[in-house]
């Protein structure tokens, strides 16, 4: 009998219409979520634990740092075979990626949730929980790292993203594809991640890393303002291979000279950053002024990577090494 712990953090899966205020709010307990299953997967015994319930749009990095620590503590018990985390979909990819960066365990860790709240007759929550329990109990997921299980698909935490605002098949691993699927309780893994998890030993996740989106003709004013108001790092969501409008290279140099690392990611959904283009703030100029290329990490995940590196006390050389190998 496999022993799985269900950690509930809130989100749509634990939400229903609030009769005293407008909108849908989280608050349904893990015990109730488990009782909502139409049938329990065979060969699994589940322990439940309520974490800090909230819509995932309201979560912060400190909360998810505590969550990853709790997952490691739960899975340190040799009797526990895996963990399922119920979570809101808005930032699920971020929490799963932070877990990918920091968790010490190789046991299965499966994030899931719902797009239709628990008060709707066609809520997708119970089915997703059942599939996630099956995945967490499967030996095929040992060593894969944290995953997102949604609408039967298993996605690795490194590449998964929420690709649709409302559909029940909201998650994709753009350019890479899912790792596997759950089919009537049977777990099938078709590929395993090529990247080794860094397992960064952080004492915290720095909350002061700012993410700045770049559009045609934008100026580096927000970048400068962030540096003046306590930003410990900057991530640029840049063009193409990692290019920016005029002025961003000069601001990158000014900030890096003050000890504020600047990471350059691409706003494209596929492909890698590379220093190819010159002139004022092409990738060559940004790197020459101290910018660190994010490889194929999205800007959202590059921010989490930098925040974790800073929380671990990494110097600039170590940050560059970790991004180069990410």
The CATH number assigned to the domain holding 66 equals 3.40.50.1170
Residue ranges at the known binding site: 56, 89-90
Is the pTM for the entire model greater than 0.85?
Answer: yes
Q: How far apart are CA 184 and CA 24, in angstroms?
A: 30
For the question of residue 123 being annotated catalytic, the response is no
For the question of residue 5 being annotated catalytic, the response is no
pLDDT in tens, 222-237: 999 999 999 999 999 9
Q: Is residue 148 in some structural domain?
A: yes
Query: Looking at the structure, do residues 185 and 260 belong to the same domain, yes or no?
Result: no
Note the Cα 174 to chain centre separation in Å.
14
Q: What share of the chain is helix, strand, coil (3-state, %, to 5)?
A: 30, 20, 50
Q: Are 17 and 93 in contact (CB under 8 A)?
A: no
Q: What integer pLDDT is reported at residue 21 of this predicted model? A: 65
pLDDT at 121 over 90: no
Q: Taking CA 80 as the corner, what is the angle to CA 75 and CA 81, rounded to the nearest 5 degrees?
A: 90
Both structure tokens of 324:
């180069």
Q: How far apart are CA 13 and CA 25, in angstroms?
A: 10
Q: Are 184 and 152 in contact (CB under 8 A)?
A: no
Catalytic residue, candidates 86, 89, 91, 112: 89
Both structure tokens of 43:
């060969």
pLDDT in tens, 90-114: 999 999 999 999 999 999 999 999 9
DSSP annotation of 299:
H
Query: Looking at the structure, do residues 136 and 263 belong to the same domain, yes or no?
Result: no
Query: Looking at the structure, do residues 39 and 88 belong to the same domain, yes or no?
Result: yes
The pLDDT of 284-304, averaged and rounded, is 98
Q: What integer pLDDT is reported at residue 18 of this predicted model? A: 72
Mean of pLDDT over the chain: 94
Catalytic residue, candidates 12, 112, 123, 273: 12
Domain that holds residue 258: 209-325
pLDDT in tens, 189-204: 999 998 889 999 999 9
Q: What integer pLDDT is reported at residue 22 of this predicted model? A: 66
Instruction: Specify the CATH number for the domain of residue 244.
Output: 3.40.50.40
- Counted domains in the chain: 2
Task: Specify the range with the lowest mean pLDDT, choosing from 4-8, 10-14, 65-69, 308-312.
Answer: 10-14
Residue ranges at the known binding site for substrate: 56, 89-90
pLDDT in tens, 137-152: 999 999 999 999 999 9
Q: Could you give the C-alpha distances from 286 to 151, 152, 227, 304, in angstroms and in order?
A: 41, 42, 17, 21
């Amino acid at each position: 009998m496999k022993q799985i712990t269900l950690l509930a953090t809130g989100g749509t899966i634990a939400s229903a219409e609030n009769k005293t205020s407008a909108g849908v709010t989280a608050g349904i307990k893990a015990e109730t979520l488990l009782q909502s299953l139409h049938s329990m997967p065979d060969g699994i015994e589940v322990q439940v634990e309520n974490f800090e319930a909230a819509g995932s749009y309201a979560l912060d990095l400190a909360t998810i740092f505590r969550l990853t620590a709790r997952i490691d503590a739960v899975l340190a018990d040799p009797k526990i075979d895996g963990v399922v985390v119920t979570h809101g979909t808005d930032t699920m990819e971020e929490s799963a990626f932070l877990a990918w960066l920091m968790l010490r365990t190789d046991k299965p860790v499966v994030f899931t949730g719902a797009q239709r709240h628990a008060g709707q007759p066609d809520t997708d929550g119970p089915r997703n929980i059942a599939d996630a329990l099956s995945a967490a109990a499967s030996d095929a997921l040992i060593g894969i790292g944290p995953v997102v299980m949604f609408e039967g698909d298993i996605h690795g935490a490194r590449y998964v993203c929420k690709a649709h605002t409302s559909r029940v098949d909201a998650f994709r691993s753009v350019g890479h594809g899912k790792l596997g699927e759950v089919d009537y309780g049977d777990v099938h893994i078709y590929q395993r991640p090529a990247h080794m998890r860094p397992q960064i030993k952080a004492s915290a996740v720095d909350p002061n890393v700012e993410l700045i989106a770049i559009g045609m003709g934008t100026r580096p004013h927000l970048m400068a303002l962030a540096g003046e108001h306590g930003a410990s790092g900057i991530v640029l969501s840049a063009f193409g291979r990692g290019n920016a409008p005029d002025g961003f290279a000069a601001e990158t140099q000014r900030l890096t000279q003050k000890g504020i690392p600047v990471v350059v990611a691409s706003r494209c959904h596929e492909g890698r950053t590379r220093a190819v283009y010159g002139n004022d703030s092409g990738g060559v100029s940004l790197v020459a002024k101290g910018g660190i290329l994010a490889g194929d990490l999205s800007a959202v995940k590059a921010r989490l990577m930098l925040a974790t590196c800073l929380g671990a006390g990494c110097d600039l050389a170590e940050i560059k090494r970790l991004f180069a190998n990410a």
